[in-house]
Amino acid sequence: MKIYIDGQFYSEQDAKISVFDHGLLYGDGVFEGIRIYNGRIFKLEEHIVRLYESARSICLTIPMSREELEQATLQTVAENELRDGYIRLVITRGAGSLGLNPYQCPKAGVIIIASTITLYPKDRYEKGLNLITCATRRPTPAALSPQVKSLNYLNNVMAKIEAIQAGCEEGIMLNEQGYVAECTGDNIFLVKGGKVVTPPISAGGLDGITRQTAIELLAEMGISCQEVMLTRHDVFTADECFLTGTAAEVIPAVQLDRRIIGDGAPGPITKALVERFHEYVKNVGAPVPYQS
């Protein structure tokens, strides 16, 4: 594996950053997860735009133009000869002092990893996930906007621990008012009476790129999707439930807090969307310039 760090490629064994990097010391930085399908990087431009928006929100200057970063990402995938896989694009605050002051970090660090990822067991895509409601709540947007994909994911990690300890693969996170925000790493959708709903971004979840793709594909399928505030009761009484995310893609969920959702199996709209999603991603995206 070849990893890009600040303009150079290193082997996995030689890829290193400073122990004084504020990304390590304080979780001070931003990231994007991006998929590679059939030799193309899916929604690369959209991910790069969101990365720069996250960086701008936390006063972090990325030391490359968007075009340069896009080319570096494409080159990293080509260097690793990946046709299908996952990219982790990380911008750290860079090396500085042991204090919090980010202005003592002269230059941000850029790291690009192109590899593979398996977020959930394969059979869960066929049978559906079991969920719990996490006691850990999503942070209020007044503290940090959920649209900033920061390197500090401890809130999500703690919620993930709860789900795993409960014997589940994923967990729903509520906001301070008790409404459904998102899952630990995915957006959530419900189907009831043939209609699809998902929490609005104002509920405290990320405006996911796969979330937007799902909404667009549903519209093409003649199925509208509305953004509404949701409670656990809405999940309990839904006909279907599915999650979306770059790493997760589109995956059904069939149980919440030991309550069966629908008939306990992936529903027809979920299955149709999964099929349409996999067809769609094979033919779009930025082509990778592999060496012949």
Residues 107, 23: Cα–Cα separation, whole Å? 12
The answer to whether residue 107 is catalytic is no
pLDDT at 202: 93
pLDDT at 178 over 80: yes
Residues 164, 170: Cα–Cα separation, whole Å? 7
pLDDT at 21 over 90: yes
CA angle 271, 276, 281 (to 5 degrees): 130
DSSP strand pairing (195-198 vs 225-227): parallel
Work out the angle between the directed axes of helices 268-281 and 209-220 (0-180°, nearest 10).
Answer: 110
Report the topology of domain 2-115.
Answer: D-amino Acid Aminotransferase; Chain A, domain 1 (3.30.470)
pLDDT at 141: 85
- Nearest Cα residue to 236 out of 162, 132, 138: 132
Residues 138, 141: Cα–Cα separation, whole Å? 9
- Looking at 2, 107, 127, 149, which residue is catalytic? 149
Q: Quick one: 124-280 is in which CATH superfamily?
A: D-amino Acid Aminotransferase, subunit A, domain 2 (3.20.10.10)
pLDDT per position as a tens digit, 185-216: 999 999 999 999 999 999 999 999 999 999 99
Pinpoint the residues of the chain covered by CATH 3.20.10.10. Answer: 124-280
pLDDT at 277: 97
- Nearest Cα residue to 245 out of 81, 38, 86: 86
For residues 31 and 25, the answer to whether their CB atoms sit within 8 Å is no
pLDDT per position as a tens digit, 30-63: 999 999 999 999 999 999 999 999 999 999 999 9
Residues 107, 258: Cα–Cα separation, whole Å? 49
- Nearest Cα residue to 41 out of 70, 61, 20: 70
pLDDT per position as a tens digit, 88-144: 999 999 999 999 999 999 999 999 999 999 889 899 999 999 999 999 999 888 888
Pinpoint the residues of the chain covered by CATH 3.30.470.10. Answer: 2-115
Residues 252, 265: Cα–Cα separation, whole Å? 8
Query: What's the pLDDT band for 2 if we cut at 50, 70, 90?
Result: very high
Query: What's the pLDDT band for 25 if we cut at 50, 70, 90?
Result: very high
pLDDT at 292: 67
pLDDT at 150: 96
CA dihedral of residues 156, 162, 167, 172 (deg, nearest 10): -60
